[in-house]
């Protein structure tokens, strides 16, 4: 087989890249190890930055997002028994939208299939060769047949555990955090409109939502926590303690999902090896506190789509040559913001009274200084694409 761009991974990054390339007249084939049903049901992030929403609207992918997404104009920071709202609309004039990653994936798959896109699910034994100048992707298709896909470029959008990054040896920057998140999806209507981030002496908690009927909540726990060791009643009791605030009520309901997610920061440099270009989690991981993971992936492929279009249609290699450096400027800004939010809101096992006072001082400053609140708001809602500070 022959195509212009071989894309490994049918998450938001790979699917959106295929869509953007198709709009520019560039052919691609998307290969995915999981089934279509699995990737459409896989629950991940739910916060879309303002630039992400604008891009999806620009390329005709926001009809259901605009109908079902939940726009938010701020978040709350809870600590010392008080609730403090960060007003995005007032501070920076834009906000975020809550819309599940799996919903973005459903929209992208439907659009690609409607437009004749080549999506191949349940492939296995993927190999990469000839990355210096003539890439070849080998794989076994869903029918058990061995195939070869020859292409001009490969986009590695196959996540942190995919094969793409393992084909070369980038420099790895890595930080492990001494805590994890116990997350639940509950069939319970949200009792407030916006997200609440809570710093409590017993640990961090996050109040979020996925729809008018479903809430998404998290508790800080040790990294080795077994989700099954936490009963539903214990989870609800602990959420009630950590999220407590005047006038706030916690609506309980049956749990749809319960899992533990580790916390780490990872960056691979460079994000390019020959004709292989990494995007999204294949190149970088952020702790979920700053809601940056999916948004960074989308920013990556926006840059990559433009670079590959210039290269494949006009022979201009300046964009592909600058791809890694361009993306990494934005990646490191998001890494810093995610680290800062995480450090400010979580209680580490080694937090002593001095460190605790510093943490509370930072929180008080953030909610009382317009300059500090504006910085949080600007980073949270997303820097405009093209501003890789």
Active site residues: 72, 197, 288, 292, 380
Closest CA to 108 of 18, 25, 28, 26: 18
C-beta separation of 282 from 9 below 8 A: yes
End-to-end CA separation in angstroms for the chain: 40
C-beta separation of 345 from 204 below 8 A: yes
Residue 388 CA: distances (Å) to CA of 85, 127, 170, 174, 384: 27, 33, 21, 21, 8
Kindly give, in sequence order, each residue whose CB lies less than 8 Å from that of residue 179, ignoring residues fewer than 6 positions away: 203, 204, 220, 221, 222, 223, 263, 346, 348, 349
C-beta separation of 282 from 156 below 8 A: yes
Which tokens hold the place of 192?
A: 């407030």
Closest CA to 32 of 147, 160, 121: 121
DSSP 2: B
């Amino acid at each position: 087989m022959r195509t212009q761009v071989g894309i490994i991974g049918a998450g938001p990054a790979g699917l959106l890249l295929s869509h953007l390339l198709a709009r520019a007249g560039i052919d691609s084939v998307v290969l995915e190890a999981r089934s279509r049903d699995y990737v459409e049901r896989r629950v991940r992030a739910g916060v879309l930055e303002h630039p992400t929403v604008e891009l999806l609207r620009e390329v005709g992918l926001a009809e259901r997002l605009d109908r079902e997404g939940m726009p938010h104009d701020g978040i709350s920071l809870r600590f010392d028994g008080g609730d403090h709202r960060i007003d995005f609309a007032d501070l920076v004039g834009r906000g975020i939208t809550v819309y599940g990653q799996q919903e973005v994936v459903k929209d992208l798959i439907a659009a690609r299939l409607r437009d004749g896109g080549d999506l191949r699910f349940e492939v296995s034994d993927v190999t990469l060769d000839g990355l210096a100048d003539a890439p070849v992707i080998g794989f076994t298709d869903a029918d058990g047949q061995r195939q070869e896909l020859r292409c001009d470029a490969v986009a590695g959008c196959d996540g942190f555990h995919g094969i793409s990054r393992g084909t070369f040896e980038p420099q790895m920057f890595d930080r492990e955090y001494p805590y994890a998140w116990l997350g639940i999806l509950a069939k319970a209507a949200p009792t407030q409109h916006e997200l609440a981030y809570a710093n409590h002496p017993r640990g961090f908690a996050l109040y979020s939502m996925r729809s008018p009927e479903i809430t998404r909540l998290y508790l800080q726990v040790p990294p080795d926590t077994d989700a099954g060791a936490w009963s539903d009643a214990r989870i609800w009791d602990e959420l009630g303690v950590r999220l407590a605030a005047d006038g706030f009520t916690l609506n309980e309901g049956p749990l749809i999902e319960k899992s533990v997610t580790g916390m780490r920061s990872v960056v691979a440099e460079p994000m390019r090896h020959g004709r292989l270009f990494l995007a999204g989690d294949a190149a970088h991981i952020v702790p979920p506190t700053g809601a940056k993971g999916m948004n960074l992936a989308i920013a990556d492929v926006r840059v990559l789509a433009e670079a590959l279009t210039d290269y494949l249609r006009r022979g201009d290699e300046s964009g592909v040559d600058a791809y890694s450096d361009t993306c990494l400027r934005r990646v490191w800004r998001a890494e810093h913001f995610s680290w800062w939010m995480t450090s400010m809101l979580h209680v580490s096992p080694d937090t002593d009274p001095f460190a605790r006072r510093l943490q509370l001082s930072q929180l008080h400053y953030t909610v009382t200084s317009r300059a500090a609140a504006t910085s949080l708001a600007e980073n949270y809602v997303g820097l405009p694409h093209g501003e890789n500070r």
